[in-house]
Amino acid sequence: MTEAEAIKTLKNFLQIADILEDDIRLARAQNQQDPSEYSKRVLIKTIFTFFEGHLYAFKQVILAFEYILNPLKNLVPGAKESRMVLFTEEERVNLEGFVFVGSKEKARKQYLKLKDDIKSTAQIFYKAIQQQNEVDFKSEGWTQLMEAQKIRDRVTHPKTAEALKISEEEMKTVNAGYNWYVKTINRMRESLGKSNLGSRFGF
C-alpha cells in the first residue's frame, strides 16, 4: 500500500457510509409508509448491514494509519511499500475482524462478535492517535445497541413465528442503538481530525 492508496481508504469509507445511510433512510421511509412487521424487519436488517459494512471500512482507515505516519517513506531503495508499525499482531488481526483463540502454539482465528469488534476498534483507534479512549461502554446507548443485536438475531434466525414480531419499544431500542453508534463514530472522527493524522487525511 502506498500513501496515496492509504488516503483513498478514507474516501472509500465515506462512500460506503453514504450508501448504507441512504439504505437506512429508504428503509425508514418504507416503514413509515407501511409500518408492517415486514418493513420493521427490513429496517432492522438494514441497520445491522450498516454496522457491519461501516465498521469494516472504518477499520481499513485505521490500518492505513501505518502508511500515513511514516517518516521513513521512500528511503528504502527498491521497496514497493513502507510503513511505520503501529499495531501488534493481535491488534492487526482484530482490525481484520478476527481474534486469536486457543493456546499460543495452536492459536486460530475466530470472527469477532460485534460487541468485541466495536470495543477493540475504539481501543486500537485511540491508542494509534495517542488520545484517551472516550467511548463510554457503560452508557445506556451501548446497552441499547447490545439489546438491538439480540432483536436482530431473533428475527434473522427465528425459532417461532412469534419471534418475527417486533414491538414499537423494540424498534425504539434498535434506533437508539443506531444513534449511539453513529454519535460514537462521529466523535472518533472528530478526534482524528484534531490529531497529527488529521491534515494528512484531509480533515
What are the residue boundaries of the structural domains of the chain, listed by start? 3-194
Q: Which residues of the chain have pLDDT under 70?
A: 1-3, 69-84, 102-107, 199-203
Distance CA(69)–CA(22), nearest Å, equals 33
Read off the pTM: 0.86
Tell me the CA end-to-end span of the chain in Å, nearest whole number.
21
The span from the CA of 93 to the CA of 91, in Å, is 5
Instruction: Concatenate the DSSP letters of all residues of the chain into one string.
Output: --HHHHHHHHHHHHHHHHHHHHHHHHHHHHHHHS--HHHHHHHHHHHHHHHHHHHHHHHHHHHHHHHHS-TTTT-STT-S------S-HHHHHHHTTEEEES-STT-EEEEPPHHHHHHHHHHHHHHHTT------TTSHHHHHHHHHHHHHHHHHS-SSSGGG---HHHHHHHHHHHHHHHHHHHHHHHHHHHSTTTTTTT-
Q: Which pLDDT does position 104 carry in this prediction?
A: 61
Whole-angstrom Cα distance, residue 176 to residue 146?
11
Spatial neighbors of 137 by CB under 8 A, at least 6 apart, are 119
Going by their DSSP bridges, the two strands 98-101 and 108-111 should be labelled as: antiparallel
Cβ–Cβ < 8 Å for 100, 93: yes
Whose grid coordinates read 514497493?
Answer: 80
The pLDDT score that the predictor gives to residue 182 is: 96
Could you give the CA distance from residue 99 to residue 202 in angstroms, rounded to a whole number? 31
pLDDT reported for residue 87: 87
Query: For position 140, what pLDDT does the model report?
Result: 96
CA distance 83 to 80: 11
What is the C-alpha to C-alpha distance for residues 122 and 114, in angstroms, rounded to an integer?
Answer: 12
pLDDT score, position 202: 63
Is 45:53 a contact under the CB 8 Å cutoff?
A: no
Contacts of residue 86, defined as CB under 8 A and 6 or more positions apart, other chains included, come to 65, 66, 69, 128
The per-residue pLDDT for 37 is 95
Instruction: State residue 83's pLDDT score.
Output: 61
